[in-house]
């Protein structure tokens, strides 16, 4: 996938809407279901994934011409593992409470398949800056997905947001359970499909109007 036909804005929006890791690609569903019970958990893991995605993509982009095709997957894995180790040590040293709440999910970032996919599909074929923009979009898309799912589940399951009591009661405690993650993600996926349809329709309309104006 080359960046030559896309602007930086389109690259960034692509990871948030068109190829959102959770709502569109349905990848890395384990953390989306298992740990997205609160907004704070979603923010913390989302930021960790964003960090790993950006620095891994930048690293692979810089060394892309020196990676032999036969060892590209081990190279991606080692690169991701290096940056996961960095964020794991940083969280453990400076944010022990947050690190404890995330548990093993930080280390599991190594096997988040959408990160490896972006390295192989984009970073290994493009220059540094487009790869960084693409990684920012994918990371922010994952962060957005985790925050939205966590917000819905926290509000409906416990009546709170970011720990603050909003409703004063628990509307549906079912949403605080792991199984509810699938239902929440299903509804959010439908919403994202609708958003993408509207966005593409507006983009097509604006291009059609511009072409008609140029023809006149």
C-beta separation of 109 from 84 below 8 A:
yes
> What is the reported pLDDT for 51?
96
C-beta separation of 21 from 27 below 8 A:
yes
| pLDDT tens sequence for the chain (216 residues) | 555 567 888 899 988 888 888 888 888 787 777 788 888 888 999 999 999 999 999 999 999 999 999 999 999 999 999 999 999 999 999 988 888 888 788 888 998 889 999 999 999 999 999 999 999 999 999 999 899 988 888 888 888 888 788 887 777 888 888 778 888 888 888 887 887 788 778 878 776 666 655 555
Nearest to 138 by CA among 13, 10, 2: 13
User: Which pTM does this prediction carry?
Assistant: 0.84
Q: How many whole angstroms separate alpha carbon 2 and alpha carbon 4? A: 6
Question: Which DSSP string corresponds to 162-182?
Answer: TTEESSSS-S-GGGGSTTHHH
> What is the reported pLDDT for 70?
92
Phi-psi region for residue 2, left (φ > 0), alpha (ψ -120 to 50) or beta?
A: beta
Nearest to 104 by CA among 119, 91, 118: 91
C-beta separation of 19 from 25 below 8 A:
yes
> What is the reported pLDDT for 165?
86
Phi-psi region for residue 68, left (φ > 0), alpha (ψ -120 to 50) or beta?
A: beta
> What is the reported pLDDT for 147?
92
Q: How many whole angstroms separate alpha carbon 130 and alpha carbon 62? A: 12
β 164-165/160-161 pair status: antiparallel
Q: How many whole angstroms separate alpha carbon 187 and alpha carbon 214? A: 41
Strand partners, 165: 160
What are the structure tokens assigned to 67, written together? 């990676």
Q: Tell me which residue has tokens 């960084």.
A: 132
- pLDDT tens for 49-91 read 999 999 999 999 999 999 999 999 999 999 999 999 999 999 9
Q: What is the dihedral of CA 199, 202, 207, 211, to 10 degrees?
A: 170
């Amino acid at each position: 996938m080359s960046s030559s036909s896309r602007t930086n804005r389109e690259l960034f929006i692509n990871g948030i809407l068109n190829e959102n890791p959770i709502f569109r690609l349905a990848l890395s569903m384990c953390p989306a279901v298992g740990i997205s019970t609160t907004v704070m958990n979603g923010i913390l893991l989302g930021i960790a994934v964003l960090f790993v995605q950006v620095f891994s993509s930048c690293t692979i982009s810089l060394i892309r011409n020196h990676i032999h095709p036969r060892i590209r997957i081990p190279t991606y894995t080692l690169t991701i593992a290096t940056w996961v180790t960095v964020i794991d040590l940083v969280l453990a040293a400076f944010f022990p409470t947050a690190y404890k709440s995330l548990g093993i999910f930080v280390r599991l970032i190594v096997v988040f398949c959408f990160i490896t996919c972006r390295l192989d599909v984009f970073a290994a074929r493009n220059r540094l800056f487009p790869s960084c923009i693409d990684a920012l979009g994918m990371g922010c898309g994952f962060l957005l997905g985790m925050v939205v799912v966590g917000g819905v589940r926290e509000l409906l399951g416990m009546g709170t947001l970011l720990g603050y009591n909003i409703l004063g009661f628990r509307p549906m405690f079912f949403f605080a359970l792991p199984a509810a993650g699938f239902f929440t993600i299903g509804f959010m996926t439908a919403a994202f499909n609708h958003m993408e349809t509207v966005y593409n329709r507006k983009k097509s309309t604006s291009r059609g109007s511009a072409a008609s104006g140029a023809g006149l």
